[in-house]
Structure 1
Amino acid sequence: MLLAGALAMGSTMAAEAPPFRPLSYQDRLESRTLDSIELLVIHATELPDLDMAREYGERIHYPGSRTGNSGHFYIDREGRIEQWVALDRVAHHVAGQNANSIGVELVSLGRYPDWLDSRHQDWQEPVNEAQLRALIGLIDQLRTRLPNLNRIAGHDQLDRRRVPASDDPSIQVRRKLDPGPEFPWSRLIEATGLQPWNDGETAP
């Protein structure tokens, strides 16, 4: 089985591809070519488990297109990977960078359930070893299929917006802190060879 979207295009891969469980609206997502993909964005679900992440992923946020927000891949705490959106479809996972990127979601509590409460901004759960190994393996697979995939970023680097805190609108908090302050960026970059996002680059 090939990575879906790279996918029904031919040859086999050395490593077993993750199971593909397309979201109900996947076919309504915008199409793209694989050579347009050059950035991989790391997220955290900020939810208790994969089942709840799926529930959130299936929610329709855009009535016009009848689509919602999700990543392409999800990595559970034990390192199990699922693919929910084909690579040749544009997922809604990071404002302003969806068209050229892949979203990978790590199951993690993050700030759940008080995401925007100014009193609860501490990150509850770092990425674990099983998730990191699975992520490195996934990136290795993706690089064999995507000729222009060469950069990597965290969601927090691409979305720096601040919003009123849910407990006190006079306080501003970050919308996004994922994949978390203790994410092992140096280890991941060394293992994959991807170039880190330059914080001086333009992002929303």
Structure 2
Amino acid sequence: MRIPPYALFLLMTAAIQAEAAPCEVPVSGPPRAEPVRQVVIHATGGPDCDPARRFRGGTLDGIVAHFLRHQGTISIHYVIGRDGSVVSMVPESRVAHHVRGRNADSIGIELVNDGDGLDPFPDAQIAALASVLRGILDRHGLRFSSVKSHAELDTSSLTCEGQRIKRKQDPGAAFPWSPLQRAVESRTVEVPTVRKEERATAPDEAASQRNQRQEELRERLRQNALDQEDARTALRLSRQQRARDPEAAALAMRQGADQIGSMEEAISQLEQREKELRAELKAIGQARERATVDDSR
């Protein structure tokens, strides 16, 4: 009998669960005034104007040392190495500085990875992440839909050699969202056997959560489309105004108020967000197809 891929993944999760017990490197943070509402997944590498630092994930020891050196400005709750080693830094009861504007109600997890969409996340690392996430979600009464990417929450940009790029892209396109969700939502290693006549009435929590997340994504896509339409309308009107009044346009340029550039950047970021939402929708559809195939066996 062929073992489904997700069953192998769950077996690995159980095998290293004991190893996923965090090593503590305590770092303090402000007391948490708000309840935890989301968990943010980071990769240690990312875009940078300095080629020596661009998409360099580093090592677990190096990343922990980096957080210790800069704990007054940046911090994190957990760091997970490529081999599945887990380091606990800021306690969950305290705020870490890991994502702009979203620190107060979030827990941050760094994964040692280049974050370029090409560097693979090892199975041991994702299995350890699933174990850590399961504990966090249980402790704070959250569902997997509360797990966010850093890229989703930070839409800022940086300019390198005259070119604007998204400042935070992690964990990147190589991150295995669907296998992670299956591992987190499964509470036992054994895959339950359900008789065909029971399948119509058997509870399917994972399918329910997929459907809920799918509706959330569709609503975000709808809002994103409206935002893009508004931004393009504003850009068109601004260009028309400048064409009618070139002197005002020249004055605005001299004062550094390049509204057109800002609008174009806003549209670019909305388009990038649309791609990310569609990619996650596609992953949910693929997960549903795999679940249907597994049920038919």
- Common fold: TM-score over 0.5: yes
More strand by share: 1
Counterpart of 1:133? 127
Q: Which amino acid aligns with 1:22?
A: P
- SS in structure 2 opposite 1:41? strand
Give me the TM-score of the superposition, normalised by structure 1: 0.71
In structure 2, distance between residues paired with 1:22 and 1:107: 19
Structure label with greater radius of gyration = 2
The corresponding residue for 2:168 is 176
CA distance in 1, matches of 2:61, 2:21: 20
Match of 2:25 in 1: 21
How many angstroms does 1:149 deviate by?
5.8
* 1:83-162 matches, cutoff 5 A: 83-110=88-115, 122-148=116-142, 151-162=146-157
The letter for the 1-side match of 2:74 is N
Q: Conserved in 2, the CA contact under 8 Å of 1:59 and 1:69?
A: no
SS in 2 for 1:43: strand
Residue 57 of structure 1 aligns with which residue?
A: 67
Q: 1:36 to 1:148 in 2, by over 3 A?
A: farther
Amino acid at match of 1:45: T
1:187 to 179, 186, 210: 179
Higher RCO (C-alpha 8 Å, min separation 6): 1
Q: Deviations over 1:65-88 (max 9, x none)?
A: xx1212200110100111011001
Q: Which residue of structure 1 aligns with residue 263 of structure 2?
A: none
Q: Distance in 1 between matches of 2:108 and 2:94?
A: 11
Query: CA separation of 1:149/1:32 partners in 2, compared to 1, >3 Å: closer, same or farther?
Result: farther
Gaps of 5+ in 2: 1-16, 46-56, 186-208, 225-297
Could you report, residue by residue, the CA deviation over 1:127-156 in whole angstroms, capped at 9, with x for unpaired residues?
111111001111112233222465011101
1:48 corresponds, among 35, 39, 58, to: 58
**Matches of 1:84 and 1:105, distance apart in 2:** 11
Cα RMSD for the two superposed structures = 2.7
The secondary structure found in structure 2 opposite 1:89 is coil
Farther-moved stretch of structure 1 (90-99 vs 123-132): 123-132
1:187 partner SS: helix
Matched residue SS, 1:105: strand
Per the TM alignment, residue 185 of structure 1 is displaced from its structure 2 partner at its CA by 1.1
Give the share of equivalent positions with the same residue, in percent.
Answer: 35
User: Could you tell me how far apart the structure 2 residues matched to 1:124 and 1:96 are?
Assistant: 28
TM-score (norm 2): 0.50
Work out the number of aligned pairs and report it: 165
Q: Does 1:77 align with 2:82?
A: yes
Name the SS for the 1:36 alignment partner: coil
Partners of 1:53 and 1:138 in 2: CA distance: 18
Contact kept, 8 Å, 1:126 with 1:180, in 2: the verdict is no
Q: Deviations over 1:28-86 (max 9, x none)?
A: x21016x701201100111310122123212347xxxxx12122001101001110110
CA distance in 1, matches of 2:141, 2:180: 19
